[in-house]
Amino acid sequence: MKCPRCGCENPESSQVCSSCSSSMVGLDTDEGKPKHKISRTVLFAGVPWITAVVSMYFLDPIYVFILAVLGLAGGVKAILETRKHKASRWKKIIAIVTICISYVLLTLGSYWNIDAAPIANEYAIGDLRSAPAEYNQSYDLLNSLGDSNSYTPGAPSIGLTEADLESLKNVYSSLKKDDYAEICAALDANAAPILQLWQNSEKGRAIINELDRFPEIADLSEARIDAEVVFLKNLRAMTYVYHLDVCLQCQQGNGDAALAELLRLDSVCTKIDKNARSIISKLVCMAIFSLDIGGANFIANNPRSPDELVEAVAAHFNSFSECRLSLRNPIIFEHLAFCHELRGYPKAVNRSASLKLNSTLRLGRNFTDEWLDIEKGLFGVQKTRLSVWPSVYPELPVWINSEGQTPWYYKAYNPIGSSLLEIFLPAMERILQIPTKVRVENDLLQIVLNRRLGRPVSLKARAYGDEYIVDVKGKKIFSPGPDGKADTKDDIKLPINPGVLGWEE
């Protein structure tokens, strides 16, 4: 038996070396080496690559690389040890397998960790439609409509108490009728609270008047997903106050005052809408315009409205611009907010192989460009989109379907990125239906105005059917809406007064 210290040959039964007096107890009599040494080496070789496989989706790629290198080094050491001490065959096999797996892990892991190239010409705030810098103060004035503390009862910035807001909600709900005569009766019954709301909202009306003096109203919202648009809640409340008073003034025969209030509100809404950045701001502006259409329709159907007043309403609402309903600003702005969100993630997440930052941003950019084309009416246009793959990858097609899902192979390549896209990208298909709804409402208003003024009327529809429908018995003019079926929940309609418009049964 050979001494591991000095190499001297000793009898098999020796407990100490005859040359150096080293202990010979516990040695493998076949090889003259410590027991379990190969097992410890193999364990050292195997643990790193097992850890690397498990951690690939969670660690910085550099750590996975280091673990795989340790596994490779451990495997090499294990082979050298097995050759030196003539280990059993299974230990040699384990050492070789360790090296092979470590090599495969290094190769595939490095290939999988590759991200796409950065976007060369990304969108920026400068690509948005914005008001000239001299109107920036209008944004501060607009935000003064909102309350600095969202938990404050009522809306003190526009002069309404919590009780006023409750009254506003109840009165406005009572006017949601499909019959014009019932709307008039509800106005008469609620005349006192409507006038009280108008008086109490003097502070808010002063802000609206001041805003109307600006040729344009700026929107300086920051491109962040969590950015708060402080003015929206109270702007909607002011819109309801104006709408109620417009209808009441018209009902009481004060048509000129009603029209002046309606045009002032619509003017401010148009200026906000022109430069609106976020989707929520744009949708609120569209909702206000829809209410303005309702106010104009009420004036046109009122028997007390003279032709001159209806002519003035027609002149204003005939100047409706398609640019007013453009979603270009919000689509780009939401993309910028998404980019800001991704780049703001902790460094460890952004460097994780599970989040391919550039690939995620590229797919988000393709989504944005596709909806910009659809918003322009360019359906089915084949355009070259940004590749979401590294240059060494095959160019597999990647898309985002109507439910925000990406193909399985892209999820395998970019698990965190594809999940973030599903979470943060807006449901544009549903959002794009809203401008169409407002356009249809404006078409219906034009039919009512032309009918009231004795002008030629065309019922040709722009969407959801061939023609708009005049239901004299139901006292409404309507479009069947997206489902194409009449008298369903998604109908787009305006109440009418058939006797005033000359549509008798």
pLDDT one-digit tens code per residue, 271-313: 999 999 999 999 999 999 999 999 999 999 999 999 999 999 9
89 and 193 in a single domain? The answer is no
Task: Please indicate, yes or no, whether residues 241 and 359 belong to a single structural domain of this protein.
Answer: no
**Does residue 80 belong to any structural domain of this protein?**
yes
Q: Is residue 129 part of a domain?
A: no
190 with 284, same domain: the answer is: yes
Evaluate whether 358 touches 350 at the Cβ level (below 8 Å): no
Asked if residue 274 and residue 192 are part of one domain, the reply reads: yes
In a domain, 32, yes or no: no
Q: Do 220 and 343 sit in the same domain of this protein?
A: no
* Chosen domain end from 311, 327, 343: 327
Domain count, the chain: 4
The H or E element spanning position 469 is strand 469-471
- Spatial distance between the Cα atoms of 250 and 426, rounded to a whole number of angstroms: 40
The partner residues of 478 in beta bridges, in order of sequence, read 469, 493
Q: Mark whether 253 and 338 lie in a shared domain.
A: no
pLDDT of residue 32: 44
What pLDDT, on the 0 to 100 scale, is given for residue 50?
A: 57
- Encoded tokens for 171: 């009165």
Give whole-number Cα distances, 303 to 192, 268, 310, 412, in Å: 22, 28, 11, 66
Q: How far is 98 from 46, CA to CA, in rounded Å?
A: 6
Nearest-5° Cα angle at 290, 285 to 291: 95
Looking at the domain assignment, is residue 276 inside a domain? yes
Mean pLDDT of 477-485: 91
Distance (Å) of CA 162 to CA 151, 207, 389, 410: 11, 20, 55, 51
| pLDDT given for residue 257 in this prediction | 93
Q: Do the domain assignments include residue 132?
A: no
Higher confidence at residue 68 or residue 454? 454
**Domain shared by 183 and 88, yes or no:** no
Determine the Cα–Cα distance for residues 199 and 197; give it in Å rounded to an integer: 5
Q: List helix spans (H) across 253-356.
A: 255-275, 279-301, 307-317, 328-343, 347-350
User: Which pair of structure tokens corresponds to residue 420?
Assistant: 């973030």
DSSP state of 321: -
Is 252 contained in some domain?
Answer: yes
Residue pair 26/35 in contact (Cβ under 8 Å)? The answer is yes
* H/E run at residue 479: strand 476-479
The answer to whether 170 and 157 are in contact (CB under 8 A) is: no
> Do 246 and 105 share a structural domain?
no
List, in order, residues 6 or more apart from 61 with CB less than 8 Å away: 109, 113, 351, 352, 353
CA-based angle 141:146:148, to the nearest 5? 105
d(CA 376, CA 129): 16
Element of type H or E holding 46: helix 37-55
Final residue in a domain of this structure, among 295, 327, 359: 327
496 domain-assigned = no
DSSP 8-class letter at 379: T
Both 200 and 316 in a single domain?
yes
Residue 269 and residue 395 share a domain = no
The verdict on residue 150 lying in a domain is yes
Taking 60 as the threshold, does the pLDDT of residue 47 lie above it?
Answer: no
Please give the residue range of the domain that contains residue 402: 330-431
- Tens of pLDDT, residues 85-133: 555 566 667 667 766 766 676 666 667 778 899 998 899 999 999 999 9
Residues 261 and 382 in one domain: no
Mean pLDDT of 411-436: 84
Residues 236, 209, single domain; the answer is yes
Q: Sheet of 476-479: strands edge to edge? A: 469-471, 476-479, 492-495
